[in-house]
Amino acid sequence: MDEANYQAWFRCFKGCDGRFPLTDVIYECPTCGGLLEVAHDIDALKTRSATEWRALFDQRYMRTDWPYGSSVWGKKELVCPTVENDNVVSMFEGGSNLFWAERLGQEIGIDGLWVKQCGNSHTGSFKDLGMTVLVSMVNQMIAQGQNVPAVACASTGDTSAALAAYAAAAGIPSVVFLPKDKISAAQLLQPLANGALVLSLETDFDGCMALVQEICLKENIYLANSMNSLRVEGQKTISFELVQQFDWEVPDWIVIPGGNLGNVSALAKGFREMHAIGLIDKMPRIAVAQSAQANPLYQSYMHNFDSFEPIQAQPTLANAIQIGNPVSQEKAIDALKSFGGVVEQATEQELADAAARADRTGLFTCPHTGVAFAALFKLVDRGVIKKDERVVVISTAHGLKFTEFKLGYHQDQLQNHGVSAALGNEPIVLPPKADVVRDTIFRAIEKKQQLTV
Ligand SMILES: *Cc1c(COP(=O)(O)O)cnc(C)c1O
Ligand SMILES: [Zn+2]
């Protein structure tokens, strides 16, 4: 059976009538104004058995047959079957390490602690997984003669890096709307280097989001934010891939940091679809981790999701999740309700210490993953996550994109965020003299031995 037998289309996430081709420029349901989602022909997908799908996915995984070596396009039939392979814009997404965090797990009494290293990718965050699908579809639209003058997004730093890179690879003009002085130097540099038009706006992410929506809707510029549900299709492959990496076993818990809440929605969609076509027979529980400075989902969770109130997000070291009015909150709440979901929050001190603690066991943690680890530690302490359960923490970006955060911690210069660095580590400046160097080394070794009980 070839790919032509598999169909996908946009439909209203809340169930209004209507089916729209994936090449339509449409982001909301024309009936209710709610978010769209990509629907797949599940019956057609079920004509292949779970065993056959697994064999196909395993055969393609990280090999060279274009474009299936990318772990997003390796699941093409379940992701975006209507893009022609010649139009795919891919940088070999996915295939990121599922790291057994043995030492960190031992410290908190969990044997089965794993970290999905989604930041080990082309632009250093999981955003690549969704952007390859969106930009490939735009590339196809352009190839078919549609007028798409540019692609644009608002960003807390990682979406714009991914959009700029994929657009540059395809030769499509890109425009990024960034909140001035609220992203890291690396995040600002990435779209600049890739030749995007970079607009540094004197507002926060929510302000950028409102502006980019207004301009895209009026000017026929293609909107690349996660309200565009093509991104969710790529991001949901995190679920496929981590289950594949466990030889098709489902973990008990997944802990994921959440800002705009597209990624947790994607994660849930991935598990639902694997279940629907028989690839898995159980579902994980999901814990969303938010910064206490930007915690509208946490607040809603504290009220049993009875209501959801957007808030004014406060500055947080976890800048990529400094979002007060998340676009995908309805999808996320729907997912959490059906996945036995919980929401936990982390203060600036907690996220910074958690990142540093994880780093001491060999990781190199971005602040958002720090939020996830801090939430994990609390949930284990409270007995919500049991010690014999298998837990996957989704690491969303590479720590190297956040050197200001990491240097600031180790130099104990994060007082403006109320953070003091209990686990800080600074270089020791010495004269180039062998005896001084030797004394310093042995004093340090002795001190360490006293420290490790
Ligand atoms: C985008 C992003 C998040 C948040 O994902 P959402 O889909 O907005 O919830 C978390 N961490 C990093 C590093 C990100 O770039
Ligand atoms: Zn609708």
Domains of the chain: 98-124+231-417 (3.40.50.1100)
Distance CA 440, CA 421 (A): 22
User: What does pLDDT average to over the chain?
Assistant: 96
- The residue-averaged pLDDT of 121-150 equals 97
Ligand 1 centroid, distance to 259 Cα (angstroms): 6
Question: Which pLDDT does position 5 carry in this prediction?
Answer: 84
Helix (H) or strand (E) holding 346: strand 342-346
Question: Does residue 315 have a cis peptide bond before it, meaning omega lies within 30 degrees of 0?
Answer: no
Using a 10 angstrom Cβ sphere, with 0-12 exposed, 13-18 middle and 19 or more buried, the burial of residue 262 is: buried
Kindly report the length of the chain. Answer: 453
More confident residue, 423 or 449: 423
Strand pairing report for 222-223 and 342-346: unpaired
Is the model's pLDDT at 355 over the cut of 70? yes
Ligand 1 centroid, distance to 240 Cα (angstroms): 19
Evaluate: CB of 369 within 6 angstroms of ligand 1: no
Ligand 2 centroid, distance to 11 Cα (angstroms): 8
Ligand 1 centroid, distance to 320 Cα (angstroms): 6
Residues around ligand 2, an ion, CB closer than 5 A: 12, 14, 16, 29, 31-32, 34
- The DSSP bridge partners found for residue 365 are 398
Look at residue 335 and give its three-state secondary structure.
Answer: helix
Is the model's pLDDT at 277 over the cut of 80? yes
Give, for ligand 1, the residue of 158, 319, 343, 402 to mutate: max count of ligand atoms closer than 8 Å to Cβ: 158
Atom of ligand 1 nearest to the CA of 323: 8
pLDDT tens for each residue of 396-408 = 999 999 999 999 9
Question: Which pLDDT does position 452 carry in this prediction?
Answer: 45
Evaluate: CB of 257 within 6 angstroms of ligand 1: yes
CA pseudo-torsion sign 380, 384, 388, 392: negative
Secondary structure letter of residue 401 according to DSSP: G
Secondary structure letter of residue 28 according to DSSP: B
- The residue-averaged pLDDT of 126-154 equals 97
Residues whose CB falls within 8 Å of the CB of residue 127, separated by 6 or more in sequence, listed in order? 158, 159, 161, 162
Nearest CA to ligand 1 atom 14: 320
Ligand 1 centroid, distance to 332 Cα (angstroms): 13
